[in-house]
Amino acid sequence: MVYYRTYRPQAIGDLDSTGVRETLTRVLSGKNIPHAFLFTGPKGLGKTSTARIIAKAVNCTAPIKERKNGFEPCGTCDQCVSITNGSNIDVLEIDGASNRGIDEIRDLRERVHLSPSQAKKKVYIIDEVHMLTTEAFNALLKTIEEPPSHVMFIFCTTEPHKVPATILSRCFHVVFTSATDDEIVSSLERIVKGEKLDAERPALASIARMADGGFRDGTKLLEEIVSLAQGKKITQQLVEEKLHVTGVSNLVLELLSFLSERKAKSGLELITRVQAQGINMTYFAQQMVYVLHGFLLQKVGIVGEESPVGKKFSLEEVQALLQLFTEAIRQMKYAVIIQLPLELVIVSWCLEESSSDEKTAPILSVQPSGKHTMDTLRKKEQNLKVQSILHPQVKAEPVKKEQTVDQPDITAHANGEDMLMENIIYKVKQINASVAGVLRGCRIIETNDTEIVFEAAYKFHKERLEEAKTYAIIEKVVREITGKPLRVTVRLKK
């Protein structure tokens, strides 16, 4: 990581994150600078580097009129130089994970009252602050609330939800969002210029797309490419070759063809091939999204004619796949097996019906009791009308008005729970296709006046259905279909 250390931003104007740069410019150019900052966001976005810049800005000894914008550190005075190289005794960087106990914070609380040795302000930079214990946070609270005038705190964390609200409310909060491709390219161009490298912008754009929104990851990839290039010009072709992403476009189209034909086995085998070739799985998933996005634009007539593979999908299917793969990319960041989210998408998609022409959507809302109410009869009639519009080739039979609440439904499916399950899956799919795919691997084993019980064949299906967001979707759909606020329970198949 030589490049990342060498080319760390040294001033506010050097920050590649536009939002952070603009926010801190407004804050530092004002008269009242906050005594406590909280920097939150994913790893590799420069939170600690920015904290050091602020430490230099408040301690720089150069006259204000000689400093750019009136607040930028000069970078040459003794204070700026010592903070840059990490030798300034008044700027302390503390690892929250290693110093998380109450004893360490009590020691810090006692030392903050001592005046700075040479600097104007003592600056405490606490990284991974969310790792502090509850007792440590409580001990720190009073000091943050009423700190000595010569003290500044800068907290950095990747998990802001673990920071107590009492601490959050006393800090100036700066959110570091994932970097855009353009911001990462700008960061890489600064390195290319400093190292006098010969690199094409499309090559840097390819690296940026694989950096997953992180400046540090982008810099690491560039450094890897430079070492592999051995003095050659860095082109897009070279990047794809060295990072094993050659032919990804063909693999993406091949997988989409398998998905259009619902070939789960072929799709999973392709993922195994991608993994064996050493292709970056996140990059592969991102390319799936880019291609599907192209299909979406083609289908609504914004760009060109539809590609042969794109024609195999309906607009609704493209939308569903975009949601599934976007969610898979998010899950890949935390997956133990990185390709597993992609494999689950393939399996859940291919388990669904082959096409809407072969199997029309369920149109009958079934009560757990197996009888109709007047409300469900009206819903059935409305659904039949909708189906006659969506599928004119399917004749909608008129609803028999003579049926009453006390009469059994002679047209009901032999197994009411199967029909109810089909209705639930159909409606859930309109909200979240991924959840609908999971439900297809489950079945209803019991319904009564207060509860509906699903049986999941696999543990990960059960865990997915029990997630708060998923549970809320299923509960809402069940209430719409049955007309009752049934409690949803999920059991694992024995």
Residues 236 and 253 in one domain: no
Residue 416: predicted pLDDT = 62
Q: What is the pLDDT of residues 95-118, one digit of tens each?
A: 887 877 788 888 888 888 888 988
Residue 125: predicted pLDDT = 93
Range of the domain at 400: 374-492
Residue 189: predicted pLDDT = 92
Range in 267-271, 291-295, 393-397, 460-464 the model is least confident about: 393-397
Residue 459: predicted pLDDT = 80
- CATH number reported for the structural domain that contains residue 259 in this entry: 1.20.272.10
Domain count for the chain:
4
Tell me if 292 is assigned to some domain. yes
| More confident call, 279 vs 272 | 272
Tell me if 122 is assigned to some domain. yes
Residue 246 has pLDDT above 80, yes or no: no
Residues 190 and 102 in one domain: no
Q: Single out the residue in 242, 271, 290 at which a domain terminates.
A: 242
- CATH number reported for the structural domain that contains residue 397 in this entry: 3.30.300.180
Residue 36: predicted pLDDT = 92
Tell me if 72 is assigned to some domain. yes
Residue 407: predicted pLDDT = 35
Residues 280 and 221 in one domain: no
Q: What is the pLDDT of residues 15-44, one digit of tens each?
A: 989 999 999 999 998 888 999 999 999 888
Supply the mean pLDDT for the chain. Answer: 82
Residues 135 and 186 in one domain: no
Tell me if 369 is assigned to some domain. no
| More confident call, 223 vs 357 | 223
Residue 481: predicted pLDDT = 86
Residues 169 and 186 in one domain: no
Tell me if 336 is assigned to some domain. yes
Give percent above pLDDT 90 in the chain.
Answer: 25
Mean pLDDT of 385-394: 46
Residues 171 and 203 in one domain: no
Q: Which residues contact 448 (CB under 8 A, 6 or more apart)?
A: 368
Gap between the terminal Cα atoms of the chain: 51
Residue 21: predicted pLDDT = 93
Q: Single out the residue in 144, 175, 206 at which a domain terminates.
A: 175
- The whole-angstrom separation of Cα 310 and Cα 407 is 49
- CATH number reported for the structural domain that contains residue 87 in this entry: 3.40.50.300
Residue 20: predicted pLDDT = 93
Residues 120 and 72 in one domain: yes
Tell me if 367 is assigned to some domain. no
pLDDT band at 80 (very low <50, low <70, confident <90, very high): very high
Q: Single out the residue in 242, 262, 278 at which a domain terminates.
A: 242
Residue 69 has pLDDT above 90, yes or no: no
Tell me if 261 is assigned to some domain. yes
Mean pLDDT of 138-167: 88
Residues 143 and 13 in one domain: yes
Residue 132: predicted pLDDT = 87
Give percent above pLDDT 70 in the chain.
Answer: 85
Residues 401 and 261 in one domain: no
Mean pLDDT of 466-472: 86
Q: What is the pLDDT of residues 160-211, one digit of tens each?
A: 888 898 899 999 999 999 888 899 999 999 999 999 988 989 889 888 887 8
Residue 370 has pLDDT above 80, yes or no: no
Residues 204 and 98 in one domain: no
Residue 23: predicted pLDDT = 93
Residue 482 has pLDDT above 90, yes or no: no
Mean pLDDT of 334-357: 78
Residue 277 has pLDDT above 90, yes or no: no
Written as six digits, the tokens of 468 are 């708060």
Mean pLDDT of 246-266: 86
Mean pLDDT of 132-146: 86
Residues 265 and 342 in one domain: yes
Decide if 457 contacts 493 (C-beta within 8 A): yes
Tell me if 80 is assigned to some domain. yes
pLDDT band at 354 (very low <50, low <70, confident <90, very high): very low
Residue 450: predicted pLDDT = 87
- The whole-angstrom separation of Cα 55 and Cα 58 is 6
Residue 321: predicted pLDDT = 92
Range in 130-139, 151-160, 165-174, 405-414 the model is least confident about: 405-414
Residues 56 and 146 in one domain: yes
Mean pLDDT of 331-360: 75
Residue 409 has pLDDT above 50, yes or no: no
Mean pLDDT of 334-359: 75
